[in-house]
């Protein structure tokens, strides 16, 4: 697992840090969760923020994601797009979260990567 990715995402979602660390401790010696497990946990957490109308917390996540995308090499960019952005956009639509609750917080790079309505 990328410690940079983990650190950046957990810094943007501090309420997730404790439960993620507990999840990490559930793995045996020499084992650890992979990047996709982290992205899934972040996605579920962020969806909860949006569903609860916690705009400030979502804004912090969106700024961190914008920074990650801007600094990402092609492999990390694909991981973020396919493992986090697309599933999050789908979940947001399925949960009935209004686009107006998301779009204002997305930076230029994240907006380009965020999937549009099918």
d(CA 101, CA 16): 21
Assign 33 a pLDDT band (cuts: 50, 70, 90). Answer: confident
Q: What is the DSSP letter of 82?
A: I
For residues 56 and 64, the answer to whether their CB atoms sit within 8 Å is: no
Q: Name the one residue in this structure whose structure tokens are 């996605």.
A: 43
Global model pTM greater than 0.85: yes
Tell me what percent of the residues of the chain surpass a pLDDT of 70. 97
Average pLDDT rounded to a whole number, residues 76-103: 93
Q: In the prediction, which pLDDT does 47 show?
A: 95
Is 53 a residue whose pLDDT tops 60? yes
For residues 53 and 101, the answer to whether their CB atoms sit within 8 Å is: yes
Q: Whose CA is closest to 2, among 76, 87, 85, 83?
A: 76
Q: In the prediction, which pLDDT does 48 show?
A: 93
**HSE on the CB side for 99, CA within 13 Å?**
6
Is 3 a residue whose pLDDT tops 90? no
Burial class (CB in 10 A: 0-12, 13-18, 19+), 72: middle
For residues 103 and 58, the answer to whether their CB atoms sit within 8 Å is: no
Tell me what percent of the residues of the chain surpass a pLDDT of 90. 61
């Amino acid at each position: 697992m990328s410690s940079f990715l983990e650190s950046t995402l957990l810094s943007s979602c501090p309420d997730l840090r404790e439960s993620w660390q507990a999840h990490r401790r559930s793995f045996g010696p020499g084992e650890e969760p992979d990047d996709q497990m982290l992205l899934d946990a972040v996605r579920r957490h962020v969806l909860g923020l949006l569903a609860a109308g916690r705009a400030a917390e979502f804004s912090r996540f969106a700024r961190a994601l914008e920074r990650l995308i801007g600094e990402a090499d092609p492999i990390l960019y694909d991981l973020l797009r396919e493992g986090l952005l697309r599933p999050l956009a789908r979940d947001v639509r399925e949960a009935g979260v209004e686009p107006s609750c998301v779009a204002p917080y997305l930076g230029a790079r994240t907006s380009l990567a965020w999937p549009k309505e099918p």
